[in-house]
Amino acid sequence: MPTPPALPPAFAAGALYDHLLQGALRHFFDRAVLETHSTASESSRGLLTLEPTADPAALTLRSFGTRHVLRVPERQPFTTHEVRLARAIGSVLSARYHAILDPAIMARRSDLFQGAIEDRFVGAFLGGTDYAAANEASRADGIAAAIEVLRVAALSQYENRYISSGVLLLDEERDPGHPGEVPPGAAPGLAYSPRLTAVKAFYRLCDGLRTVFLVDRSGRLLRTVDIGSWARATHANSSGLPVPCAAGYQQHALATLDNRHVCVVLSPSHEIKVFAEGAQVFAFRNAAWHLLDLQAKYVGWVSAVGRAVLAEKVFQAALDLSDARQGALFVVLRNPAEALPSLVAHPDLLQPARDVDARGAVSRQGLLSVLAARDVSGLDGSVLEALASMDGATVLDLDGRVLAAGAILRHPVESTADGLSPEGARTTAALAASRFGPVLKVSEDGMITFYDGAKEWDI
């Protein structure tokens, strides 16, 4: 029997990288439906092309001889960050494809294949320039390499404890926090690399929360800095962050505002957080990267609530509880008179103290009665978070008044027939409550989900 002809290397590599592209698109765009069609085009040579389209809910990519179409609901079109990430994924895969077919490039750029490929996607998204195999190692590669340092650190322990760490990657050679200091010039210096994790002092010098390593654009370790002091010194005239951020990381986000610096943190919960453009952009948790797209999602939440101050207060509390890995459920009712009888049992409603127990008996309801009709705008964030951390839901009206706390919500049997999936108790309650107004559910794994009649988004 004759031996079948071997596939040309370019064809075999194209098939492999098209498979990788589809996997990356399905992971990062899990809210979209992916369609694939074979087609002959210039992109068959491994060049990714994003086709222009008049439909904001469709994203078309051509690469490796295949046309891919991602479709999302019309009411939730693709965001700027999602389009940018699709381009970054394609550019990384194209660069690797060309490197394996060109021995000269492979010899010069073997670093393209180091570390997890998903880290390269994140680096290409943040790098700010075109990612190509023919170029020398870029800022995108430096970001991916820094992430690899924290991946290694996440597997390490110091004095029988897991560690946290962080790094601020400057987009310049000079430290703007010390503008008068002369940079090290052409000297190689000490590189910020996984080799540092073999030194015990690495785990003592920086905790990622208050202190971070400062690294210049060339990857040289400059010093350890207090991130709060550094951010305030370089952003003294800042008017604030563009979108809320977990309280423990607001200075990390501020350090990247109005510049192209990137801050990467390995948190005590072993989540890798990436900050850029004044916000947290990516999170690595549950063994996978997630594009947070906070700004677009926050705008949707504020629009649903309709009251900017209330929306910000609840969103901030949800972010802080998420960072603490504390579950919670926030419900904002549009029409409390209609919703409360169907949703909250009368004993769970907050009552004025005079109506609770004339005998002065001590009870849970009596304790919570001090919050009756309190406006959350007058509550400190930590107080709202403590309230929301109780088992059950925190129910508010559009004026921000607390109507119930720690309430076990009713979700009638017919809610399942309406398409509400019988998942976990908190998810089922969130779906049922979202018939009456916007809901934020915080899971103990750090995921925040927004419902408004149906699931809107995850972060």
Residue 4 resides in a domain: no
Residue 131 resides in a domain: no
Are residues 185 and 280 both part of a single domain? yes
Are residues 94 and 143 both part of a single domain? no
Residue 75 resides in a domain: yes
Domain interval for residue 73? 9-125
CA–CA distance, 407 with 426 (Å, rounded to integer): 11
Where is the domain boundary, 291, 314, 329? 291
CATH number of the domain residue 333 falls in: 3.40.1700.10
Residue 3 resides in a domain: no
Are residues 286 and 314 both part of a single domain? no
Are residues 148 and 242 both part of a single domain? yes
Are residues 148 and 114 both part of a single domain? no
Q: List residues bridging with 58 in a β-sheet.
A: 71
Are residues 205 and 249 both part of a single domain? yes
Burial code of 229-240, b = ≥16 C-beta within 10 A, e = fewer?
Answer: ebbeebbeeeee
Q: Which helix (H) or strand (E) holds 394?
A: strand 393-397
**Helices then strands, each counted (H, E), the chain:** 15, 19
Are residues 432 and 299 both part of a single domain? yes
Residue 264 resides in a domain: yes
CA–CA distance, 14 with 179 (Å, rounded to integer): 48
Angle formed by the axes of helices 80-101 and 117-127, nearest 10°: 120
Look at the alpha carbons of 209, 214, 220, 223 in this order and tell me if their dihedral is positive or negative. Answer: negative
All residues at 6 or more sequence positions from 2 whose CB lies less than 8 Å from its CB, including other chains: none
Are residues 312 and 345 both part of a single domain? yes
Query: Up-side HSE of residue 216: CA atoms within 13 Å toward CB?
Result: 22
Please state the domain count of the chain: 3
CB of 119 within 8 A of CB of 148?
Answer: yes
Where is the domain boundary, 93, 125, 157? 125
CB of 210 within 8 A of CB of 228?
Answer: yes
Residue 132 resides in a domain: no
CB of 263 within 8 A of CB of 275?
Answer: yes
Q: What does the pLDDT profile of the chain (459 residues) look like in tens digits?
A: 556 555 556 667 777 888 888 999 999 999 999 998 876 544 445 567 787 778 899 999 887 778 889 999 998 999 999 999 999 998 898 888 888 888 888 888 888 888 899 999 999 999 977 787 767 778 999 999 999 999 999 988 777 778 899 999 999 998 998 876 665 554 457 899 999 988 888 888 999 999 999 999 999 999 999 999 999 999 988 888 999 999 999 999 999 999 999 999 999 989 999 999 999 999 999 889 999 999 999 999 999 999 999 999 999 999 999 999 999 999 999 999 999 999 998 888 887 655 555 565 656 666 666 666 678 888 888 989 988 998 889 999 999 999 988 888 987 644 444 444 555 678 889 999 999 999 999 999 999 999 999 999 999
